[in-house]
Structure formats: structure tokens, C-alpha cells
Amino acid sequence: MAIIALVSAKGSPGVTTTALACTLTWHRRLLLAECDPAGGSILAGYLGGALDGPRGIGELAVGELRDGNLESAFWSQLVDLDAPKRERLLLPGVVDPAQAGSVTPLWQRFADFFGSLAGGDPPYDVVVDCGRLHVVGPPWPILRAASVVLLVSRARLPDLSGTRAMARKIERDFAEHRVPPGTLRLLLVGDGHSDGEVSKALRLPVIARLPDDPRTAGVLGLGGTVRAGRPLMRAAGALEVPVGALLERRRARLAWPVPQGVPDAV
């Protein structure tokens, strides 16, 4: 089990849409956490504002700062996207901008808690929508705790320019905080330069490419009936395979015994 974080450099490459599509199609027990400091959109979009009352990470942050009750309050703040199975859960993001200030100092607390869900009964993988990093108070602790970080970008030159700079920034941060190598991958969206061209230019492997599918993206963003056979949903479902393989390789690497006297790899 693992934390899988999705993030972008700028623009609207579809981080939330991708995270939601993966949550709805992967064959594992998942929690989708909206951790974009700029705010969450799934409650008002995909769920059509159908839920009454405040719910989500903002409410958890206020309660944690006041009472330190994250563990006891957490499950009451979730939305079951596939009720009543509780196999695809949503932790909605900040809706009230005033709550953003409460969430920012708790990113490490949330990162630690998300990581602990792997040992829960039942255990959950956590897909985290981190939004754009060019915002105030980005969730760096969650990115550092993630087993896989997917940097989402369109494959066009203007987008790739910003993504390249962001990739270098993430790599520097990961090196400074001793994040195991091989965590960061590119996830491309739509047409443009080939995977090989992008990987060579950005010096970062491309894990997959999702198709432009405006019809499905509209449903995921605004609500409606999600059709499993649509191109975006099929591609999002297929993404589970390379992500799972990357997780297994990372687990195997971290399990290798370190000879006595040899420092851990950075």
C-alpha cells in the first residue's frame, strides 16, 4: 500500500480529473485526498453539490488545531464514491479559502496519517491531488512521503517548459530530504511531442500518456454518468499497471539489506 501523489507545474493539465479517474477505475481499495491549497472541486463538480454541510480536509484541519482529534474525526469527513462498499473514498479539499491557512501547517501531520492507512483494517492506498506547486503553502511533506509522484503535463512546448523547471525543483527537494530515487515520473496528457522526446528533454521517464477526452473530462469535472469504456477511463485504469510495477520495484529496493558501515542511498 502506498501514497500516490499527482501534481502539476502550471495551467490545467487535468490533475484532479486524472486522480478521480484513477480512483474510479483501479482495482484496489483507494482514498482520494484533495490536497490542493487552492481548493477542492470534486464536491461541487463531480458530486454536483449534492452533500449538505461542510466536510473535508478543511474541517479536519480546524478540528486538529483545536482538539488534536484527527484520528477520531477522519472517517466522518469522507465521502463514499461507490456507496456502500467503502472501497473508493473521497476526502474533499478546502472549499472556504479561510481554511487554507489552517491546512498548511498540518501537511506533515496529514502525510504521516495517510502513510499509516497502509496498516489499517482494511488498508487503503491514498491517491493525493496536490494541484499546482506554484501556490502558497504547497503540500511538500505529502510529496516527500509519497511512494510515487506523478508530474502531470501536456506534451506541448509551453507546458513542458514549466514542467521541466518544476521537475528540477522537485528533484532538488527530494535529494535534500533523502527521498528514495525513482519516485518521480512524468504523466503526459493529450497530443504533442512523443514520449521519447519529452523524456529525453526533461531527463525524466514517462510512465504513461492519457488521451484528450473532453466528454469524459466534462463528466468528471461537472457531474454525470461515467462510462467505463470511454478513452480516458480506459487509459486511467491501465495506469494502475505501471504504477503498481513501480511500487513493487521501490518496495524491493527499500527491502535490500544495507551492508554495515555503508550509508543509505540518497
What band does 260 get if pLDDT is binned at 50, 70 and 90?
low
Per-residue model confidence as pLDDT tens digits over 224-247: 999 999 999 999 999 999 999 998
What band does 266 get if pLDDT is binned at 50, 70 and 90?
very low
- CATH class, range 3-250: alpha beta
Per-residue model confidence as pLDDT tens digits over 12-64: 679 999 999 999 999 999 999 999 988 899 999 999 987 766 889 999 999 99
Per-residue model confidence as pLDDT tens digits over 60-89: 999 999 999 999 999 999 999 999 999 999
Domain ranges within the chain, ordered by starting residue:
3-250
Q: Model-level pTM?
A: 0.93
CA distances for 108 relative to 35, 67, 71, 100, 241, angstroms: 12, 17, 14, 15, 29
pLDDT at 165 over 80: yes
CA distances for 123 relative to 33, 87, 110, 142, 149, angstroms: 15, 10, 16, 18, 20
**Amino acid at site 56:** G
Check residue 212 and report its DSSP letter.
P
Q: How far apart are CA 121 and CA 148, in angstroms?
A: 23
- pLDDT value of residue 259: 55
**Better pLDDT: 257 or 39:** 39
Which residue shows C-alpha cell 500518456?
Answer: 209
